[in-house]
Amino acid sequence: MRWPCAATLIGTGTGTGLITPLGFAALAPDTPAERLGQTMGSAELGRELGDAGGPLVVAAVASAATLTYGYGVLAALLAVGPVIAAVTALRDRRR
């Protein structure tokens, strides 16, 4: 096993347990108090969709091609997210 620490963090949920509160802490200061619950709920929904959808996407592509392509498609999808967020933020600033 090449990455036993990473596998342990993933397998035990420790990685998620560490990163989720950090993500929420990063979101909270920039969120109006009246929208805090909605923002945290949306962030949690996105995380849960990723937890459930990532393996399904990889498996579907790997079934049609190979596991390497499955991971490649997942990496491409993950790279698109920040680009969309940046474009949206720039568009919102111009308004």
No. of helices (H) and no. of strands (E), the chain: 4, 0
In a domain, 53, yes or no: yes
In a domain, 39, yes or no: no
More confident residue, 80 or 13: 80
In a domain, 43, yes or no: no
Least confidently predicted of 7-16, 40-49, 79-88: 7-16
pLDDT of residue 61: 93
Number of domains, the chain: 1
pLDDT of residue 69: 92
Going along the chain, which residue ranges are E strands? none
Q: Which residue is listed with tokens 């190979």?
A: 66
Q: In which domain, by residue range, is 80 found? A: 48-95
In a domain, 15, yes or no: no
In a domain, 56, yes or no: yes
In a domain, 26, yes or no: no
In a domain, 88, yes or no: yes
Q: How many residues does the chain have?
A: 95
In a domain, 34, yes or no: no
Can you spell out the DSSP letters for 34-74? GGHHHHHHHHHHHHHHHHHHHHHHHHHHHHHS-HHHHHHHH
Alpha carbons within 13 angstroms on the beta-carbon side of residue 78 total 14
Alpha carbons within 13 angstroms on the beta-carbon side of residue 35 total 9
Give pTM, 2 decimals: 0.57
